[in-house]
Amino acid sequence: MLTILSFIAILIVVGIGGIVIYAAFQPSTFTVQRAIVINAPPEDIYPYLTDFRRSGEWSPYEKKDPDMKRTFSGATSGKGSVYEWDGDSTVGAGRMEIVEVAPPSKAVIALDMIRPMKTRNTVDYALEPSDEATKVTWSMRGAAPFFARLMCVFSDMESMIGADLETGLANLKTVVEAKQ
């Protein structure tokens, strides 16, 4: 009986060691990106991306915890606009600040998560006109510390964040096209 338990313990240790080694060799950064074509000019879409007060109309994160506390400061929109939130475990707590703009084609946001895990990421919005439509690309990039890489052994960033980006872009398309 002791031999069987020893064998099982060795298998568990080897399995955990394998997971740790696998996580250690994963990339130390991540990028997740999604795009959609919206039937509107960039000028009609851009304000939704650079005015945090309008994010409730389309952002998937706003709907995950309707009771979260929201604080807006800095500029009303564009560079210097700040949005802070504190919500339940589904949205956590954090701060976003628009740090770069090129109306109506680009906005860059510094995203600092406080909870559930401290991270600093960058969110990019790119708008490319095409005929009477606009391709909107939403991406998130940042460092992948060891703990995040370990979590990604079981659930990857691409599918977790990607699904939210897809939902947000679909919501944005619906909102903007309804006003055309």
Assigned domain for 68 exists: yes
Q: Are 129 and 25 in contact (CB under 8 A)?
A: no
CATH number of the domain within which 136 lies? 3.30.530.20
Assigned domain for 23 exists: no
pTM for this entry: 0.83
Q: Tens digit of pLDDT for each residue in 8-28? A: 877 887 777 777 676 667 777
Q: Are 100 and 133 in contact (CB under 8 A)?
A: no
Whether residue 1 has pLDDT greater than 90: no
Assigned domain for 22 exists: no
Assigned domain for 14 exists: no
* Residue labelled with tokens 């998560």: 113
> Where residue 143 falls among pLDDT bands split at 50, 70, 90?
confident
What H or E segment, with its residue span, contains residue 24? helix 2-24
Q: Tens digit of pLDDT for each residue in 66-106? A: 899 999 999 999 999 999 999 999 899 999 999 999 999 99
The sign of the dihedral angle between the CA atoms of 60, 62, 65, 71 is positive
| Phi, psi angles (nearest 5°) of residue 9 | -60, -40
Assigned domain for 12 exists: no
Query: How many structural domains comprise the chain?
Result: 1
Nearest-CA neighbor of 172 among 13, 1, 70, 55?
55
